[in-house]
Chain A
Amino acid sequence: MLDFLQAVSDGVLFGATYALIGIGFTLVFGVMHKINMAYAAASVGGAYCGLLVLKVMAGAPAWLVFLGAFAAGGVLGWMVYLTCFHFIPLSSPLATLMSTVGMLLLIDEVIVHVTNGMPQNYPLMFDDVMLRAGEFTLRGDLLLVFGVSVLVMIGLLLLLYHTRLGLATRAVSQQPVAAQLCGIRLVRVNALTFVVTGLLGGIAGALIGASVGMLSPLLTLPLTVKGLIVTVIGGLGSVPGAIVAGLLVGGFENVLQLYRGVTERDLYVMLLLFVFLVFRPGGIFAPKSGRD
């Protein structure tokens, strides 16, 4: 029983990073009704860029690396928008899907090339802290992952629900035509959505790197798949859905890792997706439609 609880809590804490990745997919889908397949790869790319801080300034504190990853994620998000969306006809449903798959592969290749395919160590924070309650423990680094993720999510929700930019973004996702007729510049909202999701992705990538202790190009594909699963389970376009689904998937996979091992674990995650697709295809929070 204790093992089970331990696995759930560790998994849920780590699941916060899945939630961030899921939010990235879901926000872009909500605003543009497009899937950005390059999102998880760009997030990992942002985390790699964070390591450049260590190149410039040896012995820089870990939080500075995280900050670098955060900023680099935003820049990468904007670049993905420019290369995969801005100049590509949005009326064709497949065009941007293919361009973002191409971008995913490109980012992957660049990472492999620059690092010679070797995993890179990622700086840790609070990895020596351990909260105990009898046998039950809370790892300090996972608490950091969770805490930072929650802060970032709160920031995002404040932005989306209480600032004009956020309301304009939601207006575009609900009624793109009417939004233009209210003087909202669609292209700008689209680009800013990519920058904001990129920032989230950069920090998510850095947190994943920190909690695993290293980054490897092998992370991008599984993270893409997991992000998409979280998005679908949460409900395409729903930010609260992505948060809940991210924590759910994190806890779920860690429990199955405990009982069935790491090699089998993802099978059950797929099974969870299957169950949702069959019984609740709209996801946990299927967003209300009403878009033209």
Chain B
Amino acid sequence: MHIVVCLKQVFSTPQVRINPETNAVIREGGEWIINPFDEHALETALALKDTVGAKVTVITAGSQQAEAVLREALARGADAAVLLSDAAFEGSDAWATAKILAAGIQKVGAVDLIVCGKQTMDGDTAQVGPAVAEFLGWPCVTYVRKLAVEGTTLKLERLFEDGFEKVEVVLPAVLTVGKEINTPRMASLKGRMAAKKAQIAPVNAAALGLAPESVGRAGSPTRIVKMATPPKKTGGIKIDGSDAAAAAKTVVEKLRELKLV
């Protein structure tokens, strides 16, 4: 089985703040990491490699700096890494990013399974995985929390807020996974030492056969009009609860005032 895992490098800060003048995220006191859900996608693939045998290729679209997440994935046990990098990719939205990734995956060769994190911690759209599936014309199963392989069929469980769903899908397919599916492993020493030396040649738009205007800002239907920090929540009304009957009376009065009851 050949599995491709899509990774995104994200910026992690204890608290995300936005510069009101530039509308850009303030990058101070944080670090660049693998998108946490993508770590679970990688572990899903590596676990399949351990149990049923698979080649695992990791892929990312980003600047040269994004190479770090590919090296970390190699250190944990991925077999090959692909960096899709081109100035023309800058400003890509979920749609254009999926288009780039799908083109990159088609260049990788015969692939049976694609695993993505269910969403990123920065964009939070949860669209890229399903959109990659659309571009490839493959079925997609999102929010996977459990997986079993039976030949070319995957038996899956999808997790929702109010329960779960059992689903089967025939390969090739795209999955998006949540953090419930596994515990990501840590890199091995031999893996780290080998990953340092790995050659990762960037693949550009031309090599993928993508016209520059079909990707990046130009090829993205989404327009960011404004970025802002959400207004702080106001304190609300606190009612002294030491006298329950009186408190209940006050609550009902307030609700009546607001015409909610």
**Do A and B interact?**
no
Q: Please give the residue numbers on chain A whose beta carbons come within 8 Å of chain B beta carbons, in ascending order.
A: none
